[in-house]
Amino acid sequence: MKFASYNSYKIFMSEPPYLKDLNPEQKAAVIQTDGPIMIVAGAGSGKTRVLTYRIAHLIATGVDPFNILSLTFTNKAAREMRHRIEGVVGLEARNIWMGTFHSVFAKILRIEADKIGYPQNFTIYDSDDSKSLIKSIVKEMNLDDKVYKPNYILSRISNAKNNLIQAHVYQNQSELIAYDETTGRGKIHEIYTEYAKRCFRSGAMDFDDLLLNTFKLLNNFPDVLHKYQHKFKYVMVDEYQDTNHCQYMIIKKLASVFENICVVGDDAQSIYSFRGATIKNILNFEKDYPDLSVFKLEQNYRSTETIVNAANSVIAKNKDQIEKKVWTKNDAGNKIKIIRAVTDNEEGKMIAQNIFETKMSEQKMNSDFAILYRTNSQSRSLEEALRKLNIPYRIYGGMSFYQRKEIKDILAYLRLIINQADSEALKRIINYPARGIGKTSLDRINIIASNEEKSIWEVILVADKYPELKGASKKLKNFVEMINSFIKLTKQQNAYEIAMHVARTTNLLKILNEDKTIEGINKYENIVELLNGLKEFVEDDTNESEKDLGSYMQDIALLTDSDKENDDNDRVSLMTIHQSKGLEYSKVYVSGLEENLFPSQMALADRTQLEEERRLFYVAITRAEQNLTLTFATSRFRFGNLLPCEPSRFIDEIDNEFLEFSKRVITKPQSQKSSNTNFYRKKQEPSSLKRTISRQNNPKMLRPPATENFIHEHIHDITIHMKVEHQRFGFGEIKSLEPVENPEKATIIFDDFGEKTLVLKFAKLRRA
């Protein structure tokens, strides 16, 4: 292995202008074009710029962009890189094979699908489709759905596929079956086998199949392997530490002829083992390529010196890592604040109050702030606290636009038009809107399809030949005729025109337009927005996809969480630490720094898992540009009980010189002090302890703000149009009272939950 640097290269006087934007180590990584290369990119080290300029440099030095394969983990990252490359080399950048693993491999599979027995227009199942199919299989096998939960089963199947274990192989793996039996789920191998059969019969692939089937193509068809090995003479992989075994094997096969492979990543940010990613891929990269050149990007441009050094002091505790020392020329900045709260609710209040005060004193935007947490369940207390101070926020990882029911309904029609074998899409819309094809008929169709190993579509095409379907045969015939009429349009109209015709013909638009509730209006507007998106898709000249319906459906099926359109509104960002990877904020709060929460209780018995938790903490620290605040509670509600908590070991792993303990710390009464007190005294300076505030000795802290008076204690004060707040539904406006005199019920239109009718006696409303 060669550790390379810019000084080892002779740069001509007339170097390209884009190289002048790079530091010496970045330049070295950009201009070495041939051979195996690993770029170890520390947090905030300008990785995207290096990737962009490296591809631009390849094209500028004569490499045909059609021969470049660039793999990323989000479409958003690929679009951003392609746009930057265009700025350097022009429209030639559009000829690069660039995108996520799944989007690039889906493109290859559509070209080569017939070789593995799939139609070219195969459907891509999302997790909801997969879970629905698994649920059906579990029911048909008469298994306990409380034991064989779809989430768990899908996770086991996904893990198997990521390790190249197909269904027929799983059946012969005694260790896997023995493990399933110990968990009381000994039939998983049978479910996996049936799941694979049903997907194949439906002409459908789930996300993991896009990887597994690409490997099968390359492994079983030498001519296909030869074709793509010689097409992709230069292979670049971003976020290599996040690749799984299947991705690793595909990359290795594709790059084996020319070995012009460049992987970019940071072992210190490997945090996705639960998705099948393995850190060994980056740690052991040299074993595959002994002539490997390694470039280390160690200068951090994002964070203050204090934050960078604090992150270094934490990650240094890990044993499995590539040695590097991240540094920065940025100012030292403020120390990292540690805030201690008595409960998780108080933790939320202190964070919200801190954000409120910082906004006022420093004239900051809400979008400058982010609150990170280990698990989604922690957001509750944070949301409540932010709402009470009228601080707008956005939660990442919520329901995607394309996961909303009304959107999935119309997309199911479009999926069926493209692929009639798609049984999950067919089941979703065969009786929506209602057309008299009930559950009993559908169950009978399912049984026939299963017994005859046919798709549901094949059964309903000849429904009149089955006596048990006689009562529904006419309705099924009408349904088939409607879908066939849609199919004919695909040869004459573009994606937008077809979707509009479907929305009108099925009465989906009419039904939603007639629903004048808040929910109904929102659903109608969502359908309109989908149609607007289709219109934009077919009219976008810069869109490299075909304008047909199949291309559009593939594009949206392959969207990742990070590809959701950003909200331009000025809001505080709330998200798990996993979701924060790749993002950066001026001011970051990491909440819930407690043992058994962060690090997770499941990680404490295994060093490998504990090291991943530490890498997760490293990611959290390095999201911050200017200010970082870490918070923990000495008690937290879990399963309905208030349990004592101990501060996370990760706080103790930060060198003390980088920490500052908040003066607003609230201690527990003497009788309730637990083992965490010793920890806190050890980390605090004596002067900080003297300034610690006791809740018992500060009655002002116990007094609720005037805005928190309960309306239900003053019922006669309620009026129509009054602005109110509910603990669960948030802010809203009173629409009507029943009865008007001495009201007992109120109908309220809430900002986020629409119209609700509440009994005032129990509602516990507050004036907003």
pLDDT at 692: 32
C-alpha to C-alpha distance for 314 and 651, rounded to whole angstroms: 9
- The Cα-based distances of 420 to 122, 195, 469, 487, 607 in angstroms read 10, 18, 20, 9, 49
Q: Given this model, what pLDDT does residue 402 score?
A: 80
Which of the residue ranges 59-73, 359-373, 543-557 would you say has the lowest mean pLDDT? 543-557
Rounded to whole angstroms, the Cα distance separating 142 from 245 reads: 34
One of 427, 623, 649, 766 is an active-site residue; which one? Answer: 623
364 is catalytic: no
One of 112, 129, 238, 613 is an active-site residue; which one?
Answer: 238
Tell me if 303 sits within 8 A of 625, measured CB to CB. yes
The model's pLDDT over 524-562, given as tens digits with 9 standing for 90+, comes to 888 988 888 888 788 876 555 567 888 888 888 887 655
Strands (DSSP E) found in 299-377 = 336-341, 369-373
Report residue 11's pLDDT band, with 50, 70 and 90 as the boundaries: very low
CA gap 25, 624 in Å, rounded? 24
Specify whether 567 is catalytic. no
Reading phi first (left if > 0) and then psi (alpha if -120 to 50, else beta), residue 582 is in: left
In this prediction, residues 631-640 reach a mean pLDDT of 81
Rounded percentage of the chain residues whose pLDDT exceeds 70? 88
CA-based torsion, 8, 10, 15, 16: positive or negative: negative
Q: What whole-number distance in Å separates Cα of residue 521 and Cα of residue 406?
A: 12
- pLDDT, tens only, 183-216: 999 999 999 999 999 999 999 999 999 999 999 9
Q: Which of 48, 493, 692, 747 is catalytic?
A: 48
The residue annotated as part of the active site, out of 47, 415, 615, 636, is: 47
Read off the pLDDT of each residue in 257-281 and give the average, rounded to a whole number. Answer: 93
Beta bridge partners of 733: 723, 749
Residue, of 610 and 87, whose pLDDT is higher: 610
Which of these is catalytic: 25, 239, 422, 612? 239
Whether 49 sits among the annotated catalytic residues: the reply is no
3-state secondary structure (DSSP) of residue 698:
coil
47 carries an active-site annotation: yes
Among candidate residues 504, 501, 445, the one with its CA nearest the CA of residue 470:
445
Peptide bond between residue 290 and the one before it cis (omega within 30 degrees of 0) = no
Compute the mean pLDDT over every residue in the chain, rounded to the nearest whole number.
86
Higher pLDDT, 711 or 288: 288
Decide if pLDDT at 743 tops 90.
no
557 Cβ contact list (under 8 Å, min separation 6): 123, 124, 126
pLDDT band at 150 (very low <50, low <70, confident <90, very high): very high
745-750 and 730-738: which strand pairing? Answer: antiparallel
Q: For residue 703, what pLDDT band results from cuts at 50, 70 and 90?
A: very low
Greater confidence, 693 or 166? Answer: 166
∠ Cα 85 90 93 (to 5°): 50
Max intra-chain CA distance, the chain: 88
Say which range, 312-316, 450-454, 590-594, 713-717, has the weakest mean pLDDT.
Answer: 713-717
Residue 712 has pLDDT above 60, yes or no: no
Catalytic residue from among 269, 343, 378, 626? 269
Q: Catalytic: 48?
A: yes
Q: Does 353 participate in catalysis according to the annotation?
A: no
